[in-house]
Amino acid sequence: MPEVILDRISKTIQKKKILDDVSLKIDEGSFVCLLGPAGGGKTTLLKIIAGLEVPSAGAVYFGPENVTGLEPYKRDVSMVFQDFALYPHMSVFKNLASPLTAKKLSKPEIERKVGEVARFLKIDRFLDRKINQLSGGEMQRVAIGRALTKEAQIVLFDEIFVNLDYKLREEMRVEFKALVDELNITTIFSSPDPEDALSLADKIAVVREGQILQYGPRDAVYQYPVDVFTAQYCGYPEMNLVDCTVVKNGGELQIDAESFQIPLPRETLAREITPGSYILGVRPEQIRIMEERQENGVVIPGQMVLTEVIGSDTIVHIDVGRHTIQSFVPGIYRTITDKPVYLNFDTKAMYLFERETGAFVARGT
Amino acid sequence: MDLSNVTRYQSAVAVEAAAPPVVIKRRGYLLIWPAFLYLLAFLIVYPFGYNVYQSFFEYSMLTDTSWFAGLKNYVGLFTSPEYLNSVWVGSLIAFFCLAIETLLGLSIALVLNQNFKGKVLARILLILPLGTIPVINGYMFNILFFPNASVVDHILNILGIINGPMNWLQDPIKARIVIIAMDVWQWTSFMIIMILAGLSAIPESFYELAKLDNMSTWKTFWRITLPKIKFPLALAMLIRAMDLLKFFDGVYALTKGGPQSATETVSFYIYRIGFKAFNVGYASAGSIIVWAIIWVMSFIVISKVFAAKEKAV
Amino acid sequence: MQRVQRESRAYKLFRIVFLLFFIAVFLLPIWWMIKTSIILRVDTVVYPPQYIPKGIEFDGYIRIWKDQGLPFLYFNTIRINILAALLALLLGVPAAYAASRYDFWGKEGGFMFTILSTRFLPPATALVPLYFLYRWLGLVDSIWGLVIAYAGLNLPIVVWVMRSFIDEIPRAMEESYMLDGHSRVAAFFKIIMPLSAPGIAAMFMICNFLTWGEFLLSAVLTTTVPHQTLPIGAAQLEGDIGILWQQIAAIGVLGAIPITLIIVFFQRYLVRGFSFGILK
């Protein structure tokens, strides 16, 4: 099972730079998620790995072998497309058998292997059906099944959950995780949805405007985002960001965000910082809501303005003067408007970013 | 957590030296060449080149010699009342044909796209004219509008619209109307097919949404139907416009350009001047001008409509 | 696609009147052609006209069969049109595929527009040079000369329409097929061809419609009956002694039959084949 190496890949399509000097090393058997907004170059990157696009500069290696110019049908890669790309003029069976007919296997062999995959994905009942007789979820399974019958070492998934509705997406994600764990293949998965990345991937590469902003183990990317964009993008709901200044107050540093102040005694942050303009970030899931003032951690009084129930969790919007802060709490809550509430979070959960560049500065310890 | 992870991700890959740039040629695009060469050989180089060449020469049938004339043919054409008349007549006929065919084609297609009993039969009957032979239609229309025995006159008289014979083909304006009617009769069917094809590609859900929004029929047409069929409609209109500006068969069979060259289109003028009067230089220059007019028109249509389609995709 | 909509009684009535009116107008010349071909010669042009013929004769059909070489004309027209349509598709579909799937220098403004612009020349102009060219190639008065010319006339439309048709087939489908391990050529034949079959079929029919009654090229490039087509046969019936309406109409009726059969049996596919968004 080879590792996949992208070495200084650039791609220009019709004078537009889609990928700009991208390098990535994907370990064999790992699950990497390319996370980022639409139009950032994720699909192009996958197509370059698959051989469907040729990079304008740079090279692709599968293990030691340079495969940059190799035709897609000679590569040990399969891919599941966003729109599934099932062949509408063939039955489900023929769709699943397509990689096997390409290998010129015997008929009983093909039937055996298709049967195996179909049972594995619980689509063996539909084998005779036409593609247009399938539901979205069934089409998804057939598409995955077709990628599996090839028995390729590297499987690419291009935003495959985007076209599914919320409920189905949740279900498929769980099943998909189990499936991939069982198969032990190198998986590269692109998604605009941080939940996909955080629940599925070993490693996350944040892709934006043709560049990889950050690449690392999932927890590292989540806990140590390199900049404001990554911090905000990698997490749902998005990280709260508040413009602030760090000032010297007596001997002590203090964060001044106009609506509230947070003292910064030594050792609060992992490194020393100088007074200046910063952005303060705290993830919504790190913020608790108290009805009574409490003494440990940071406490900010505010007024609840809105609650959004998502599944069995609630996003609470709290007005703290000039800013609205979101808190993500398990369970279902109703808006309390008649009395103030208190936001409470640990200084460990604080991030500081440079105001000008958005680059990461420090986080609490 | 180790802070080294936080550094901006750079080239973490250590492969030998810089990989050489890969030049890969995928040669599928060469498949456009057979068609291109074919047209180049049979239509562009020879007929077109010949016309360009001849348009700069004068030819005498008496001595069977030709001599270089520079732009004389072009200048002559632009000052020739006959040629200018044929351009005017040709454009007039083309404009009315295209406008009527489009409007009729659109209304009939919209009705045929609805659900009702006998729809398939209506559809078949309304595209039948497409199967007829233009020259023979010319003769048939000749009978229908025959002087003193016109079937159309008879029907209009019965309906009380006119009184007495119309002598269609003797009057310049009426003769043009007959020419236009004949083309509209034969080619509206083509428009119907193309527009029906465009309409059938609109998913029903679009109309349901419009209904939910309580859009009026008129608004639904402008906001949903028309934008969706823009492309097939433009393509059909372009094909028709190209053929209409070269309009020949109907004129040949029905009026031979008369009366008093009231129905002489450019194509017919070129035919007459080139084949009957053997003024090859004039005929060639005349065609080059027509070619240029259609070229400019198509270029504008294509760069506006079709470029917009590219972007939408 | 049908609209689910409750229609008022008045609208339904309007629709019936609207359609009946146009069907009547559209069928009148066709009926007149059929009628003229069988009506007694003396009753061809009379006033008031006979909408239903009082007496009939089949003289016109017999005469074109005997004197005009109808079997030749008929057979020629059919095979010339079919061969020309096939040739246009053979050249045009690969070109459309190239234009749809590849980016290359000069594609839109160069190749595609030049291809289209060959349809801009008035047919009368192409006659003389084509005649010289054909004389040089020995193609005058041969059915192949017309096949080549008609294919050339239709090629621009085939390339343009098929290109937009193939544009609608998602690239992901071929890409996926190639990743299954099939070659690019296999993807063309197993994915592009089957999925564009409705378009190809419709295009085949349209090609036949567009050149079926072509007159001018046929008139100049063929000189003897064994290589001529129906429209020429009809035009030759207009002579010094007047116009032989019966025979002309008889040729018109017989000439309209093949295309009419195609329309009757394949109109559904014709419309579907042209639905550009067929896969969406």
| Set of chain B residues whose Cβ sits within 8 Å of the Cβ of C133 | 42, 46-47
Q: Which of residues 87-146 of B touch C (CB under 8 A)?
A: 104, 107-108, 111, 113-116, 120, 122-137, 139-144, 146
Range B105-111 average pLDDT? 92
Q: Are residues C52 and C64 in the same domain?
A: no
Report whether pLDDT(B7) > 50. no
B8 — contact with chain A (CB < 8 Å)?
yes
Range A78-85 average pLDDT? 89
Q: Are residues A180 and A157 in the same domain?
A: yes
Residue of B nearest to A25 (CA): B13
- Whether C138 maps to a domain, the answer reads yes
Last residue of a domain, one of A192, A226, A260: A226
Distance from CA of B133 to the nearest CA of C (A): 4
Last residue of a domain, one of A161, A192, A226: A226
Q: Say if the Cβ atoms of A79 and C181 lie within 8 Å.
A: no
Q: Say if the Cβ atoms of B132 and C33 lie within 8 Å.
A: yes
* pLDDT tens, position by position, B166-220: 788 888 888 899 999 999 998 999 899 888 877 877 777 777 777 777 777 778 7
Q: Say if the Cβ atoms of C180 and A150 lie within 8 Å.
A: yes
- Whether A231 maps to a domain, the answer reads no
Range B93-108 average pLDDT? 94
Average pLDDT, chain A: 88
Range B53-60 average pLDDT? 82
Q: pLDDT band for A121, please (50, 70, 90 cuts).
A: confident
Q: Say if the Cβ atoms of B6 and A224 lie within 8 Å.
A: yes
* Collapsed DSSP state (helix, strand, coil) of residue A93: helix
| Set of chain A residues whose Cβ sits within 8 Å of the Cβ of C279 | 88
Q: Are residues A257 and A344 in the same domain?
A: yes
Q: What is the pLDDT of residue B5?
A: 41
Q: Are residues A215 and A284 in the same domain?
A: no
Name the residue with higher pLDDT: A140 or C279. A140
**Looking up tokens 């350009």, which residue turns up?**
B257
B17 — contact with chain A (CB < 8 Å)?
no
Q: pLDDT band for A95, please (50, 70, 90 cuts).
A: very high
Distance from CA of A98 to the nearest CA of C (A): 6
- Whether C187 maps to a domain, the answer reads yes
Scored b (16 or more CB within 10 A) or e, C88-104 reads bbebbbbbbbbbbbeee
User: Is the whole model's pTM more than 0.95, yes or no?
Assistant: no
Tokens found for residue C56: 């009939």
Q: Which of residues 154-183 of C touch B (CB under 8 A)?
A: 155-157, 159-161, 164, 167
Q: How many angstroms separate the CA atoms of C231 and B76, rounded? A: 35
- Whether B4 maps to a domain, the answer reads no
C107 — contact with chain A (CB < 8 Å)?
no
Q: What is the pLDDT of residue C6?
A: 62
Q: Are residues C69 and C18 in the same domain?
A: no
Q: What is the pLDDT of residue C57?
A: 86
- Whether A234 maps to a domain, the answer reads no
CATH of the domain at A319: 2.40.50.140
The structural domain count of chain C equals 2
Range A102-124 average pLDDT? 90
Q: What is the pLDDT of residue B309?
A: 57
Mutate: best of A214, A228, A271, partner B, most B CBs <10 A: A214
- From the list B134, B148, B274, the residue facing C47 with the nearest CB is B148
The structural domain count of chain B equals 1
- Whether A327 maps to a domain, the answer reads yes
Q: What is the pLDDT of residue B275?
A: 76
Range B23-52 average pLDDT? 81
Residue of A nearest to C186 (CA): A102
- Whether C188 maps to a domain, the answer reads yes
**Looking up tokens 């289209």, which residue turns up?**
C116
Q: What is the pLDDT of residue B96?
A: 95
Q: What is the pLDDT of residue C5?
A: 52
Q: Are residues C71 and C195 in the same domain?
A: yes
Q: What is the pLDDT of residue B24?
A: 58
- Whether C280 maps to a domain, the answer reads no
Distance from CA of A278 to the nearest CA of B (A): 18
| Set of chain C residues whose Cβ sits within 8 Å of the Cβ of A79 | 175-176, 179
Q: Say if the Cβ atoms of C49 and B242 lie within 8 Å.
A: no
Q: pLDDT band for C274, please (50, 70, 90 cuts).
A: low
Count of B-C CB contacts under 8 Å? 325
Tokens found for residue B209: 């949404």
CATH of the domain at A154: 3.40.50.300
Range C187-208 average pLDDT? 88
Q: Are residues C37 and C101 in the same domain?
A: no
Last residue of a domain, one of A178, A195, A226: A226
Q: Say if the Cβ atoms of A98 and C182 lie within 8 Å.
A: yes
Mutate: best of B25, B30, B33, B38, partner C, most C CBs <10 A: B38
Report whether pLDDT(C146) > 50. yes
- Whether C279 maps to a domain, the answer reads no
Question: Which subunits sit against A, judged by 3+ Cβ pairs under 8 A?
Answer: B, C
- Whether A232 maps to a domain, the answer reads no
Q: Say if the Cβ atoms of A66 and B8 lie within 8 Å.
A: no
Distance from CA of A39 to the nearest CA of B (A): 14
Residue of B nearest to A5 (CA): B13
- Whether A235 maps to a domain, the answer reads no
Average pLDDT, chain C: 85
Q: What is the pLDDT of residue B12?
A: 42
Distance from CA of B16 to the nearest CA of C (A): 28
Distance from CA of C154 to the nearest CA of A (A): 29
Q: How many angstroms separate the CA atoms of A342 and A337, rounded? A: 13
Q: Are residues C38 and C110 in the same domain?
A: no
B24 — contact with chain A (CB < 8 Å)?
yes
**Looking up tokens 């020949």, which residue turns up?**
B248
Q: Please give the helix or strand (H or E) that residue A203 lies within, else none.
A: strand A203-208
Distance from CA of B223 to the nearest CA of A (A): 26
* Collapsed DSSP state (helix, strand, coil) of residue C56: strand
Q: pLDDT band for A266, please (50, 70, 90 cuts).
A: confident
| Set of chain B residues whose Cβ sits within 8 Å of the Cβ of A270 | 3
Q: Are residues A302 and A198 in the same domain?
A: no
* pLDDT tens, position by position, C102-129: 888 888 878 888 888 888 777 777 777 8
Give the residue numbers spanning the domain of C19.
Answer: 1-57
What are the C-alpha distances in Å from C41 to residues B152, B154, C9, C57?
A: 20, 20, 47, 8
Query: Where are the strands (E) in C75-234, listed by range?
Result: none
CB C145 within 8 A of CB C139: yes
Q: Are residues C46 and C103 in the same domain?
A: no
Q: Are residues A125 and A266 in the same domain?
A: no
Distance from CA of A316 to the nearest CA of C (A): 40
Q: Are residues C192 and C258 in the same domain?
A: yes
Report whether pLDDT(A325) > 70. yes
Q: What is the pLDDT of residue A237?
A: 87
Q: Say if the Cβ atoms of B5 and A6 lie within 8 Å.
A: no
- Whether A29 maps to a domain, the answer reads yes
**A186-191 and A31-35 strand pairing:** parallel
Distance from CA of C180 to the nearest CA of A (A): 4
- From the list C19, C29, C256, the residue facing B141 with the nearest CB is C29
The structural domain count of chain A equals 2
Q: Which of residues 53-82 of B touch C (CB under 8 A)?
A: none
Count of A-C CB contacts under 8 Å? 61
Helices (H), B159-304: 172-200, 204-212, 217-220, 226-244, 249-254, 266-271, 280-301
- Whether B184 maps to a domain, the answer reads yes
Average pLDDT, chain B: 80
CB B293 within 8 A of CB B114: no
- From the list C178, C179, C191, the residue facing A87 with the nearest CB is C191
| Set of chain C residues whose Cβ sits within 8 Å of the Cβ of B39 | 114-115, 118, 152, 155-156
Total number of residues shown for chain B: 313
Q: Say if the Cβ atoms of A213 and B8 lie within 8 Å.
A: yes
Report whether pLDDT(B276) > 90. no
CATH of the domain at C183: 1.10.3720.10
Q: Are residues C30 and C102 in the same domain?
A: no
CATH of the domain at B167: 1.10.3720.10
Q: Which of residues 144-173 of B touch A (CB under 8 A)?
A: none
Residue B135: phi and psi, rounded to 5, are -60, -40
* pLDDT tens, position by position, B235-268: 888 888 888 888 887 788 788 887 888 888 888 8
Among A341-350, B15-24, C5-14, C28-37, top mean pLDDT goes to: C28-37
- Whether B255 maps to a domain, the answer reads yes
Q: What is the pLDDT of residue C277?
A: 41
Among A293-302, B102-111, C135-144, which stretch is predicted with the lowest mean pLDDT? A293-302
Q: Are residues C2 and C71 in the same domain?
A: no
Report whether pLDDT(B312) > 50. no
Report whether pLDDT(B3) > 50. no
Q: Are residues C173 and C258 in the same domain?
A: yes
Give the residue numbers spanning the domain of B287.
Answer: 83-312
State how far Cα A326 lies from the chain centre: 21
Q: Are residues A198 and A268 in the same domain?
A: no
The contacts of residue A315 (CB under 8 Å, 6+ apart) are A237, A284, A307, A308, A326, A327, A328
- Whether A265 maps to a domain, the answer reads yes
- Whether B61 maps to a domain, the answer reads no
- Whether B161 maps to a domain, the answer reads yes
Residue A269: phi and psi, rounded to 5, are -100, 160
- From the list A61, A216, A359, the residue facing B5 with the nearest CB is A216
Q: Are residues A199 and A292 in the same domain?
A: no
Among A280-289, A308-317, C64-73, C119-128, which stretch is predicted with the lowest mean pLDDT? C119-128
Q: Are residues A245 and A347 in the same domain?
A: yes
CB A329 within 8 A of CB A341: no
Q: Which of residues 224-263 of B touch C (CB under 8 A)?
A: 231-232, 235, 239, 242-243, 246, 248-249, 252-253
Report whether pLDDT(A329) > 70. yes
Q: Are residues C153 and C113 in the same domain?
A: yes
* Collapsed DSSP state (helix, strand, coil) of residue C113: helix
Q: What DSSP string describes A274-335?
A: -SEEEEEEE-GGG-EEESS--SSSEEEEEEEEEEEEETTEEEEEEE-SS-EEEEEEES----
Give the residue numbers spanning the domain of A135.
Answer: 4-226
